[in-house]
Structure 1
């Protein structure tokens, strides 16, 4: 059973930003039209993180399969994630911090990572609530944490702050 652990994201700030900028540059070389964004907890000051870096790559529908091919040449497909014609997940565990890449079609049902980041950045009470959830699952089963995290974000999607984005 995989256990989840969290740390203050300030421990990862410098490496996360450096890794993000390096990989954004690489991605933009092969996908110049893509919108490449730093998402996840390392993008949100004062939050707890598992210590990984998340990047969302947003493309228009007609560029999706080209983007899949480009990112497949750079990263490993994340086999533990869903795979659709509007979403793919990739990873690189060799980077510092480890990297997760979410490729989404702009405006699709999976184009929400940047919205979650923005809601948490603009509304500290949601960030604190999310951190409290993380504290509750510290050292516990990753699957249980992921279920609770999903419930939190499903509820966040119903808020006026999220709907404005």
Structure 2
């Protein structure tokens, strides 16, 4: 936090972040798969899921479900995790968090094909192109220690650019 209380971007210099995130993802995947609707696809997304990508040291999980099972999945997740009130919430998107886990966890629930169903596609674009990872890392370095809101705006623009170049323009998260 800054002196004025604003949340700041702090990159985690540890190379162990990805290992810890993957281990926690596997444990949470089992728990989530047991309670979510049968059509749920649970994916490790975010920087810790991409080799060489700089990270804040958290674990991001995307849960994709059909429009028909979105409300049921939302009820399941809100019973297990805190709703992320700092994130947008729509008919096809909800965000949850668990800050006390190590690493901290963010879960994005999306209806397949909804405007914010971008997490897996963005991860896959990064995994397929090391040059994109380099550009993303440069963006992250330029905002390290800066206001998280400024970083998120720049990150959203970058995601839109990447997905637009891939022919998959979607509104930012």
TM-score tier after normalising by the smaller chain length: over 0.9
Cα RMSD, aligned residues only: 1.4
TM-score by length of 1: 0.94
Q: How big is each residue's C-alpha offset from its partner over 1:67-108, in whole Å with a ceiling of 9 and x where there is no partner?
A: 000001110000011111100000001111000000000111
Which whole-Å CA distance do the structure 2 matches of 1:8 and 1:37 have between them? 24
Residue equivalent to 1:5: 10
TM-score by length of 2: 0.90
Structure 2: where are the runs of 5+ without partners? Answer: 1-5
As a proportion of its length, which structure holds more helix?
1
User: In structure 2, which of residues 127, 132, 137 is the aligned counterpart of residue 131 of structure 1?
Assistant: 137
Which whole-Å CA distance do the structure 1 matches of 2:168 and 2:17 have between them? 27
> Is residue 27 of structure 2 the alignment partner of residue 22 of structure 1?
yes
Shift of the alpha carbon at 1:13?
Answer: 2.2
The count of aligned residue pairs is: 163
Which whole-Å CA distance do the structure 1 matches of 2:74 and 2:87 have between them? 14
Alignment of 1:49-128 (within 5 A): 49-128=55-134
Counterpart contact for 2:92–2:114, Cα < 8 Å: yes
Question: Structure 1 residues 72 and 142 mapped into 2: Cα distance closer, same or farther (>3 Å)?
Answer: same
Shift of the alpha carbon at 1:154?
Answer: 1.3
Question: Structure 1 residues 103 and 9 mapped into 2: Cα distance closer, same or farther (>3 Å)?
Answer: farther
Shift of the alpha carbon at 1:144?
Answer: 1.1
Structure 1's consecutive aligned runs of 4 or more residues displaced over 6 angstroms after TM superposition are none
Which whole-Å CA distance do the structure 2 matches of 1:9 and 1:59 have between them? 33
Residue equivalent to 1:147: 153
Counterpart contact for 1:104–1:110, Cα < 8 Å: yes
